Amino acid sequence: MADKKDDPLGAVTTPTPRRKPKPEITEIAGRPMKPSTLMMGHGFDPALSEGSLKAPIFLTSTFAFENAAAGKRHFEGITGKRPGGAEGLVYSRFNGPNQEILEDRLAIWDGAEDALCFSSGMTAIAVLMLAACNAGDVIVHSGPLYAASEGFVAKVMAKYGVTYIAFPAGATREELDDVMSRAKAQAEKQGGEVPLIYLESPGNPTNALVDIEAVKEARDAHFDPDRCPIAIDNTFLGPLWQRPLDHGADLVVYSLTKYVGGHSDLVAGSVSGAKKWVDAIRALRNTMGGIADPHTAWMLLRSLETVELRMQRAGENAAKVCEFLKNHPKVEGLGYLGMIEDERQQDIYDRHCLGAGSTFSVFIKGGEAECFRFLDALKVAKLAVSLGGTESLASHPASMTHLSVAEGRRAELRITDNLVRISIGIEDPDDLIADFEQALEAV
């Protein structure tokens, strides 16, 4: 990704400069501090903002230079005419103080060198894919993907001559070898490369897990790891319950709209990973825009202070709710990571996951009519798409989020008419159980 065939916009060679606040304290007596501690102050120096304990919201489109020579020096740094790069902020399409602090803090959670924030999860995914690919290239991706991601690969990237090969989430090393060989042959035929392996794990909405370690082994065996990063959408379990960079992924993608934002009141996204990958994506974001706005970035800073607390509570609540749903006579089954029935999926879970999350599928006995009666009877949980908020949400993917997915593909992915997706929030667990109990009575 770093050495694109051509760079007509000069985007790759002009990364956004970063201004650093005072040296950070990240350990005490040799003991590294945990992310939950660092979320309160990391990356923000009150002395740069009139002593304000919390970062103000910086609503500005541009940043003043101290003098003309400083302006010249800045651009010499950006353009590489002076070694050492550029410091300070220059223009808000590239970056701003709130977004820089947010990016520093997001990187901490994933154990990443760098991070970028975007105006939505889909913007993050789109810019990542556009930055990675040239005409003729082939994207290898796991399935299922969030419907818009799948559509972006199949319909939008296709317009630019990029094709794809998809593999089922649980694919083994042997199956992955076959996928990689086919992708290589397809790319050679098209005069391109395989510049990106894109995963989503767990997949939306089935919770199917991808073996990231097996994907990395297969990637290393078939492609040059320096030219073919593995990116993974970690929205369902991150940042608490899965750390993909520890298992061989190179880039982690989020819809921050979900658990990280966590209050169903904003839309944003991010990408994190090693600087060499992140810089190429940043360069395209600099050119196109798509960075999160300062107000949203500020809201996310506030959200990050409680993300661990919220996710822990939601995870505990989901375990209790699923324990109740598991044996209910009107429930056919659950797609909950705390109750996996498939040996291969359990093995991946044991190696990759630190918690079962709070978003799962419940298969109600019957079909669409029974699911609709259940959804319409809910009193505490709200009937809405999205997930990862403080409040519990329920939706019917086959007729809502995944309606655009072809019927055959829906069946292949087990997105059946009797599947209700539930995202558990931080309410009282007994109230939630009482709500699901009375809604099941209405089925």
Ligand X SMILES: Cc1ncc(COP(=O)(O)O)c(C=O)c1O
Binding site for ligand X (CB under 6 A): 120-122, 146, 149, 200, 204, 233, 235, 255, 257, 267, 269, 386
For residues 14 and 120, which CB has a smaller minimum distance to ligand X in the complex?
120
Query: Rounded to the nearest whole angstrom, what is the least distance from the CB of residue 116 to ligand X in the complex?
Result: 14
H helices present in 80-197, as ranges: 97-110, 121-132, 147-151, 158-159, 173-190
Q: Which helix (H) or strand (E) holds 316?
A: helix 294-326
User: Is the bond into 15 cis (omega within 30 degrees of 0)?
Assistant: no
Least distance to ligand X from the beta carbon of 12, Å?
25
Question: Between residues 232 and 381, which has the closer beta carbon with respect to ligand X?
Answer: 232
Q: How far is the CB of 150 from ligand X (least distance, A)?
A: 10
Of 233 and 293, the one with the shorter C-beta distance to ligand X is: 233
The candidate with the shortest Cα–Cα distance to 146, out of 208, 95, 97, is 208
At closest approach, how far in Å is the CB of 237 from ligand X? 10
Q: Which residue is closest to ligand X by CB? A: 121
Nearest CB to ligand X, comparing residues 149 and 206: 149
- Exposed/middle/buried for 420, CB within 10 Å: 0-12, 13-18, 19+? buried
- Quote the distance between the C-alpha of residue 340 and its chain's center: 23
Least Å distance, CB 401 to ligand X, is 7
Nearer Cβ to ligand X, position 186 or 255? Answer: 255
- Whether omega for the bond prior to residue 205 falls within 30 degrees of 0, making it cis, is yes
What lies within 8 Å, CB to CB, of 422 at 6+ separation is 321, 359, 360, 361, 362, 381, 392, 393, 394
Which DSSP state fits 34?
A: P
Q: Provide, for the chain, the percentages of residues in helix, strand and coil under a 3-state DSSP scheme, each rounded to the nearest 5.
A: 40, 15, 45
Least distance CB 122 / ligand X (angstroms): 4
- Least distance to ligand X from the beta carbon of 391, Å? 16
**Minimum CB distance to ligand X, residue 390 (Å):** 17
CB of 146 to ligand X, least distance (A): 4
Which is closer to ligand X, CB of 44 or CB of 118? 118
Give the CA distances from residue 276 to residues 113, 282, 291, in Å, rounded to whole numbers and listed in that order: 9, 10, 19
Beta carbons within 10 angstroms of residue 71's beta carbon: 13
The residue among 267 and 381 lying less far from ligand X, judged by its C-beta, is 267
Contact 392, 380 (CB under 8 A): yes
Beta carbon nearer to ligand X, 180 or 252: 252
Question: What is the spatial distance between Cα 289 and Cα 155, in angstroms, rounded to a whole number?
Answer: 22
- Secondary element (H or E) of residue 269: strand 269-273
Taking the least distance from each CB to ligand X, the nearer of 92 and 120 is 120
The answer to whether residues 34 and 103 touch, using CB atoms and an 8 Å cutoff, is no
